[in-house]
Chain A
């Protein structure tokens, strides 16, 4: 049976989950969490659409895991309501929410074989034997672990254990899958493979809503339809992944989501209609995609390291120059650090002049206005 089996409509045959069949969107309605007087999640209002992957990213202590645990039912909100589909689950215990969850350390039951781990949720929900056998077979097949059904978790590698954990979560056909730093315990190579596998899994299971908590921006950028960036218990920005990356609404987002160069500029001419704003960096005037800046505003021109070029190419109408400080050759990529009017500017390039430039050389940098955006200087969180 294909992975599409998990998106079938026959999900009411397991009686425990009250929320099943009621839709798979998640709605945070002014949800806050506090431990005593210490507020770890300030009132959060957020929607995750059915079938959407929302990545919550942020530094440690930013409240992203707390938000996920509130959805799972392990953290009681101090205020606000959480709805999954049409059901208010705020007061439901975790075992009645109809969710699947995968955590960083896999949390497989060590004394159970792989197939029993995967069958655990179905047995807990009182499914009959035939259904359990079918679901276990499907879930293991989906994650490519059918051949390991009789193994114990300790006989598997970290990546294999994480696949089993995903199969275990999928076997109960959750409307929402919660992934809490699921790849953090894996080494870099396996993590890259697993990101691709999760992406493929979601292509196969388009109806599955996923809340993905991570501190790894690459995982978030690769997998998420939307990203919510958390900081100090608040959502500092939220939107479609590409939009947040290309047009970060604030400095924290620009710096946290991918490396961004932020050059302090003064807006000379506001962007009108479809055009670009014009901003002054010292004596140089640059064109940039703008928001609602007005002439005279102080702002930050955001440009990603890979969008800076050492050579003038078509469409790269912006030109600045800087003093080369550092050169880091990393095989397929070369990273340069230049000093541009006192600001460190990073350049990542696959193409260089014939010889590596030496530190101390003044180099021109070219970039296209469409690859830039203006970030308000004072827009913190």
Chain B
């Protein structure tokens, strides 16, 4: 009998290792994909199981949806831009301008990540709200009948709160990227005649672009889905997609409309998450 025949006659061994994927896959399917499928089904099919394209079209063309979409995108883009600017300036100072306590300040800013988002909003209410310290002080000092500062209850209030909360998400990857910038390059540029702004623009920033993209897309992702800050501030007329989903599902019991908007929100989030992963991959994260 040949060697091949002997080997072929051996009983096949069962590899049990590959079955370990089943428990987490089943758990994920039960807790995540099944509810997601239910939302998608609720969005695109009526109770009889027929595709309901007309309702989807109606919602997508409705004024309330378009307003919420515009609000969501504009607020998240503005907040992300604010985070990028503030984060970049702070990171440059913390990384390249030596001062006593810079590490402590960096750690302090980091702690914002650990705080619940409503806390900042609450603090802003105490500071800039109608009855907050700033308005109370101004009204008393100038005998004003009405609070003079009321930006908090507008889109700007939401943007300011989101910038405060999410700037550390930009700061952290930027500081990591800046720590990898060869100080010799900065010194060489300086000796060659480059002033600080040119060094930032042509030497430091190119090294930080992946970090900026990764941090920026993460910020965009988080601000698109931000619910607590928008709800807590309660700005008049500032309805974002998450807030609209909440309103339609909980307050108006329009579950199909809520699910259609939720699917759009999910698609937007996944797109931004893909961008974030791509940028993070470039960064080596």
Give the B-binding residues of A (Cβ under 8 A): 14, 16-17, 72-74, 93-101, 103-111, 120-121, 124-125, 165, 168-169, 172, 178
Contact = CB atoms under 8 A, between A and B. Distances in A.
Contact of A103 (B187, B193, B195): B187
5 contacts: A17-B193, A94-B190, A100-B191, A103-B187, A107-B188
B192 A168 contact: yes
Given A100-B192, A124-B192, A124-B193, A94 B182 contact: no
A96 B193 CA distance: 6
B188 A168 contact: yes
Contact of A72 (B185, B187, B193, B202): B187
Contacts of B189: 109, 120, 124
Contacts of B194: 95, 120-121, 124
The 10 closest A-B pairs by CB, nearest first: A121-B192, A107-B184, A124-B194, A94-B190, A124-B193, A125-B193, A101-B191, A107-B188, A111-B206, A16-B193
Given A16-B193, A168-B188, 18 more contacts: A74-B187, A94-B187, A95-B190, A96-B193, A101-B188, A103-B184, A103-B188, A105-B182, A107-B185, A108-B185, A109-B202, A110-B207, A111-B207, A120-B202, A124-B195, A165-B188, A169-B192, A172-B193
Interface range, B side: 10 to 19
A259 B29 CA distance: 75
Contacts of A108: 185
A107 B182 contact: yes
Contact of B191 (A94, A104, A106, A110): A94
Contacts of A172: 192-193
Contacts of A101: 187-188, 191-192
A110 B181 CA distance: 10
B86 interface: no
Nearest to A174: B191
Interface in B166-206: 182, 184-185, 187-195, 198, 202-203, 206
B57 to A, nearest CB: 47
A256 B195 CA distance: 40
Identify whether the interface residues of A are mostly helix, strand, loop, or mixed.
loop
Contacts, number: 73
Q: Which of B191, B195, B206 counts the most chain A CB atoms within 10 A?
A: B191
A72 B194 CA distance: 13
Contacts of B184: 103-107
Contacts of A93: 190
Nearest to B184: A107
Nearest to A97: B191
Nearest to B194: A124
Contact of B203 (A94, A105, A109): A109
A94 B189 CA distance: 9
Given A103-B184, A107-B182, A111-B206, A120 B192 contact: yes
A95 B207 CA distance: 21
Given A109-B202, A111-B206, A111-B207, A121 B193 contact: yes
Contacts of B192: 95, 100-101, 120-121, 124-125, 168-169, 172
A306 to B, nearest CB: 37
- Residue from B185, B187, B192 having most chain A Cβ neighbours under 10 A: B192
Nearest to B190: A94
A109 B185 contact: yes
Contacts of B195: 95, 124
Given A105-B182, A105-B184, A109-B202, A72 B191 contact: yes
A58 to B, nearest CB: 21
A107 B187 contact: yes
B45 to A, nearest CB: 51
Contacts of B182: 105, 107
A17 B193 CA distance: 8
B193 A95 contact: yes
A104 B207 CA distance: 20
B176 to A, nearest CB: 17
A124 B194 CA distance: 5
A14 B194 CA distance: 13
Contacts of A104: 184
A178 B191 contact: yes
Contacts of B203: 109
Contacts of B191: 72-73, 94-95, 97, 99-101, 169, 178
Contacts of A121: 192-194
Contacts of A110: 207
A233 B112 CA distance: 46
A178 to B, nearest CB: 7
A98 B198 CA distance: 17
Contacts of A105: 182, 184
A104 B182 CA distance: 12
Contacts of A106: 184
A112 B163 CA distance: 33
Nearest to B195: A95
A95 B194 CA distance: 6
A5 B198 CA distance: 28
A164 B194 CA distance: 18
A74 B193 CA distance: 13
Nearest to B182: A107
B120 to A, nearest CB: 37
A170 to B, nearest CB: 11
A124 B198 contact: yes
A127 to B, nearest CB: 10
